[in-house]
Each structure stands twice: as structure tokens, then as C-alpha cells.
Homo-oligomer: A and B are copies of this chain.
Amino acid sequence: MMTSMMALIDELWYLKRDLVSDGYDTALNRLAQEVPMTIHEYPTGTPCWTWKVPEKWTCDEAYLETLAGERIIDVKNHPLHVVSYSLPFEGVVKREELLPHLHTHQRLPDAIPFVYKYYDRDWGLCLPQTLKNTINDEAYKVVIRTRFENGSLKVGEVVVPGESDRCFILAAHLCHPAMVNDDLSGCVVGLDVARALLQGPKPFYTYRLLILPETIGSVAYLSHHEELIPKMNGGLFLEMLGADIPHILQHSFMVESQVDKCFAAVLADSDPPIVRKPYREVIGNDERQFNAPGVRVPMLSLSRCIHPSTAPNYPFYEYHSSLDTPALVSQERLEASRDLVLKMLDAWEKNRYVVNEFKGEIFCSGQNIWIDPTVNRAGHDSLFKIMERCDGTRTTADIAVELQIPFQAVWEIISLLLDRQLVRLSPKPVPPALTRY
């Protein structure tokens, strides 16, 4: 029995899913029950290109008390009360010393912020600004009992095998403790997409869903699968797919790539329109590792995110805070996002070079594809403009972008031509041999 996306969120969201941690492992193992998943493990200290896998981190106890013993903050009350990867600390500290270690949210005075110190380490606690305003005693007692131990960073990989070993990557991160829209929503949408693909007919491309801790997870996986990189044609990062905000697509670094063109053309008929922005101009996540030098896999990013990046509530109101709870998210929106991803992948499956098996214009009446211009001028014109671009040098996405027609509309014509064996599809361009002088 499949568990719904929303049910998975309810079950897993509150776990303390830090980069390398028991909470992360629990969540990943639970997701692995829903779909065949390989879990790659990278032990603490493993070199990953310029990076190293960090220690496993555990917080046994963390609280702030008045000297009179009144507990002001306790991680037992909320996992975000301690800085992720906080150093251990115990002692009585003066107010002035304490304050820089108490983190609040920039915008939300009543929320506990999500703060992490993975590499630039320090000890610290997190609390609402309103609570911090009451920190007026001369000194407080701090107890932070955290452990840094050898462990294993884990990357979950779900493979949907295709006819070709060239593969498309779906990626989402799972390492944001006790939050939902960012990042659990992306994981469950990815999972549901994988479930749908596994249930459908065998695709042409192989699809790989990666669920991982942000950044270091991608670097760990890529550096240990270098042989796969040349086979990765494209990718899509998934995040923030539950909030009540319209979708937005962030392009890859290689904006002229086939994936970029294909997804742009697929979204062209969206209602309401889906905004597209250049690389790095919506939000940065694991797609950065895939687009980076030495990898250069064109990975786009789909989210529901307020734009432009200067908007006061960017990327969404409850971002990186204790307010990012299941209440933000709806099964309906998650399904809409899943269906959009499936629509994008469906187009990607089809998007190969369209090679003409015909010469000259096609005898449309004879092929029963004639559109009478006196009845439907736009349809007639599109038919001919599409046909005349089926020449082995353009994919369906190329034609769609060139003519500013949605992918589906172009594909309708291409599939008529395919049915009649007037064109064939090729994964590589098949340009005419001709040079004229």
C-alpha cells in the first residue's frame, strides 16, 4: 500500500534530520519502504572532491536556564532550539557573552529560526525574538550536550530503468530538521514521481531520484559516480512544493540546453503562467553541484517561491523557521506539483531530434493532415511552420522555442507525422550532408 505524500510528511516532518544524524537516517529508511531504494553510505572523513564527509552529529540535551533554574529554552520542546552542528557547551555565562549565541529569525519575531554551523562551528541556541527580549538577567546557565562521532552520510537513490542508460536526475534534500515546505515537500513529490514512473511503461531514459543532505550529499554522490556524469542529460531539483504560491522554474547554467528549452516549452501553456528565471536567480540548492565545472549537468529547479528575490517574504513567509509546518502544505498542491513534473518528464521523453523521412512539403491532403487555411489560418500556418523545421537539426523543443508554440502543440503535429512514418526521432542531430557554394 502506498502512503500518501501528506501522510509521509505528517509522519516524518518533526524528525531532527541533520546532515548526518539518526533523525535523517530514520526518515530516509522510512521513504525507502515506499519505493525500491539503494542507500549509498559515505563514512565520516571520506574525501569528496574538495570536500570531506562531516561527522555524525547528535544532540542529547540542550537548554537555557535562569540561575534560578527556570528553563527558558529546551530542545525537547522543539528540535530547532539548538543550532544544527552546535559545539557542546556547558556553563554559566554572562548576558553579554550569551547574546551572540542566541539566534533569532530576521523577519519572524515569534518563530524559532533554523540555524546551522556545519563548518564554521560554534555553540548556539535558537529562540523567538520575543523570548530573547526577556533575556535580562545578568547570567544564565547553558547546557548543550552534543556529540561529534564517525558516522555515514546517506544518499537514497531510486532508479527507474529506461531503454537507454543516459539518465535524468531528480534531486531533493532531506536535511532540514522539523520543517516541511523546505525541504520535505520536495522529497515526497520526487518519491511520488518515481512511484508513477515505476508503474508506467518503461521509459526511454533512465531516471534517478536522489534524496540527500544538501550540497555535501550531491558532492558525495557525484564524486563517487563520476562514470555516470557523462550519461546525465539533465536534471530537476525539487523543493518548496507545498506552499500556496505559484510554481516558478529556475533555468540551469546552460540555458540553451535541450532540457532548458524543453521545460520552457512545456510550461509555455501553463495557466496561470509559470515564471521562468535564470540560473541562481530563484534560489540555490543542489542543482549548483550538478551545474558546476567538471560536472555541467544542466539541472533546473522547480519550486513554489515568491519572486523576485528582493521581495520581503522571499522565498516564502515561514522560510527556515518553526512556522514551516504541515499546515503550510496540502496534498492537492503536492499532487499538482507531481503532475507538473510528470508532464515535464513526459515531454523530455519525447524530445529528440525530428528527422524528415520526406522531402519537399508533405502532400497533406493525401496524408489526411490538411488544415484548411480558410477555416483555421493559425492551425494551417503552424502545421507548415512545424513541418518545415523537421530536418534532423531540431528537436521538438527547438521547434517549440523557435516558433513560440507550447511543446504539446508541436508534439501533436510531430506525432501525426510519426504515425505516418514521415519523420523519425533521433537522440542525436542528423544534419543534411549538404554544403552549397
Contacts and interface: CB of A to CB of B under 8 A. Distances in A.
A437 B166 contact: yes
A233 interface: yes
A191 B3 CA distance: 78
A51 B366 contact: yes
Nearest to A222: B360
B219 A291 contact: no
A359 B293 contact: yes
Interface stretch (A69-77, A87-95, A149-157, A383-391): A383-391
A359 B49 contact: yes
A330 interface: no
Interface stretch (A262-270, A407-415, A428-436): A428-436
A220 to B, nearest CB: 10
A294 B358 CA distance: 7
A358 to B, nearest CB: 5
Given A120-B365, A437-B428, A359 B223 contact: yes
Interface string A357-384: 0111111011100100000000001001
How many identical chains are in the complex? 3
Given A356-B294, A360-B292, A427-B437, A367 B50 contact: yes
Contacts of A294: 356, 358-360, 391, 432
A119 B360 contact: no
B434 A230 contact: yes
Binding site of A, secondary structure by majority: helix, strand, loop or mixed?
A: loop
A223 B226 CA distance: 49
Given A280-B384, A366-B50, A359 B292 contact: yes
Nearest to A422: B50
Contacts of A363: 49-52, 119, 219
Interface in A174-221: 215, 218-219
Contacts of A391: 293-294, 296
B361 A215 contact: yes
A362 to B, nearest CB: 5
A16 to B, nearest CB: 23
Contact of A361 (B230, B288, B361, B365): B288
A366 B49 CA distance: 12
A14 interface: no
Contacts of A215: 361
Interface string A384-424: 11011111100000000000000000000000000000100
Contacts of A218: 360
A223 B363 CA distance: 13
A104 to B, nearest CB: 13
A295 interface: yes
A253 interface: yes
A289 interface: yes
A370 B392 CA distance: 46
Nearest to A294: B359
Given A51-B363, A293-B392, 19 more contacts: A49-B360, A50-B358, A50-B362, A50-B363, A50-B422, A52-B363, A219-B361, A226-B359, A230-B436, A288-B384, A288-B388, A289-B360, A291-B388, A292-B359, A292-B360, A293-B356, A294-B391, A295-B360, A296-B432
23 contacts: A49-B359, A49-B360, A49-B363, A50-B363, A51-B363, A52-B366, A119-B370, A120-B370, A215-B361, A219-B360, A219-B363, A222-B359, A223-B360, A230-B436, A233-B436, A233-B437, A288-B361, A288-B384, A293-B356, A293-B391, A295-B360, A296-B391, A427-B437
